[in-house]
Structure 1
Amino acid sequence: MAGKPILWYFNGRGRMESIRWLLATAGVEFEERFFTTREQYEKILCDGVLLFQQVPMVEIDGMKLVQTKAILNYIAEKYNLHGKTLKEKAFIDMYSEGAYDLMVLIMAYPFLSPAEKEKQLDLISKRATDRYFPVFEKVLKDHGQNFLVGNQLSMADVQLLEAILMVEEKKADILSGFPVLQDFKVRISNIPTIKKFLQPGSPRKPVPDENYVKTAKLVLQF
């Protein structure tokens, strides 16, 4: 039997958090290796396993995978979270990319100056309410099903819930004008594996703090 996947990143959200979400949704236990010093990072760089000198990296099924989208797609395929047909896969990828684009705006937030943070909050709120959430509200309303694609849980649903919760951390009433997404949030949050991941003590990481920012800058030297 293959061992647990091993996740190489910082002890924080960043680009690894969606990977944690997807593995947890699939009910897969995993181990984590956290970078805390530049020396640790340089060692793994010298070992040649980071193809593009970037993290996240996930060891799974005898492979050392890098690039977030590739990792997510592999996990989604492996655990039946990527649709049944080519058309379904295309729509899942499209919706996932939309949710991830919104999350990237929030990932950048902790690294900004106070003045930049204020502008970023406005941008996050505007993009969520004007660009991204209206699309998902319409998709769910138009086909009247519980999930975004194929009436079964997929990577797209998981990433949309993650995005919703991340935006709500910045603006609690962000879903006030999106009743369908409000129902979606409750429904997906209560899927047993996801509900477990949302409980205290799970591998889910908290909102990035100053220590996370400091560590990332130290390790990556930026």
Structure 2
Amino acid sequence: MAEKPVLHYFNGRGRMEVIRWLLAAAGVEFEEKFYETKEEYQKLLQTGDLMFQQMPMVEIDGMKLVQTRAIMSYIAGKYNLYGSDLKERVYIDMYSEGAADLLLLVMAFFFLPECDKEKQRNLMKDKALNRYFPVYNKALGGKEYLVGNKFSMADVCLLYTILSVEEFHEDILQNFANLLAFKKKISEIPTIKKFLQPGSPRKPMSDAAYVNNVLQILHP
């Protein structure tokens, strides 16, 4: 039996969470190594395993992969979540990258000073309503999945991003019927449904303790 992938990251969502989602969607069990002190992180850096001296890192198939996009592409290709040809793959990439752009606004929120958070919350809402969600809503017209006739990495990325934005704006999808239907359908896929249940490796929304811990680890 092949060894489980090992995920190296801080004990929270950050850039690793979407990778957790993708592995869970593929039905792949994984282990995690959390770095919660500066000393632990410095020790990892000294191994030379982090190509660009930053996490996330995923050990899989004898490799130590870094860079979120590269990690996800490998996982999607390995577990048949990357389309059937190059044309489908490039659309999966485009939709996944669009979701990642919106998700960056969510992730940045937690690291902003309090005086800037309301502005970021409003920016998140504006971009979701006027730039990103209309694209996905149109793409899903008459379709179950974003690309082709098959569940893919793009669907995983979109669902995770929707749920993340909804944590700030509960009714954000009220005028996007296709996205509402998509959210319901994808959430019922057995592997996704399992990951959404309590007790799964899914991480909670970032809080002040997580932010402070990350800053203490990374800052000189």
After TM superposition, the score normalised by the length of structure 1 is: 0.98
Q: How does 1:99-178 map to 2 (within 5 A)?
A: 99-141=99-141, 144-178=142-176
- Does residue 77 of the first structure (1) align with residue 77 of the second (2)? yes
Deviant stretches of 4+, over 4 Å: none
AA in 2 matched with 1:54 = Q
Q: Name the CA distance, whole Å, in 1 between partners of 2:121 and 2:133.
A: 16
Distance 1:58 1:221 in 2: 23
Q: How does 1:1-222 map to 2 (within 5 A)?
A: 1-141=1-141, 144-221=142-219
User: How big is the shift at 1:214?
Assistant: 1.0
* SS at structure 2 position matched to 1:217: helix
Gaps of 5+ in 2: none
Give the drift of 1:94: 0.2
SS across alignment from 1:58:
strand
Q: How big is each residue's C-alpha offset from its partner over 1:165-209, in whole Å with a ceiling of 9 and x where there is no partner?
A: 000000000001101100000000000000000001100000001
What is the RMSD computed on CA atoms of the aligned residues? 0.7
Q: CA separation in 2, counterparts of 1:18 and 1:32?
A: 14
Residue type at the aligned position of 2:181: D
Cα deviation, residue 219, structure 1: 1.1
TM-superposed CA distance for 1:211, in Å, is: 1.1
In the superposition, the TM-score normalised over structure 2's length comes to 0.99
CA distance in 2, matches of 1:69, 1:39: 27
SS of aligned partner of 1:111: coil
Q: Aligned letter for 1:196? A: K
* In 2, Cα distance between equivalents of 1:133 and 1:110: 22
Superposed CA offset, 1:89-134 (max 9, x none): 0000000000010001100111111111000000000000000000
- State how far apart, in whole Å, the 2-side matches of 1:30 and 1:211 are: 25
Where structure 1 has 5 or more consecutive residues not aligned to the other structure, the ranges are none
> What code does the residue aligned with 1:211 have?
A
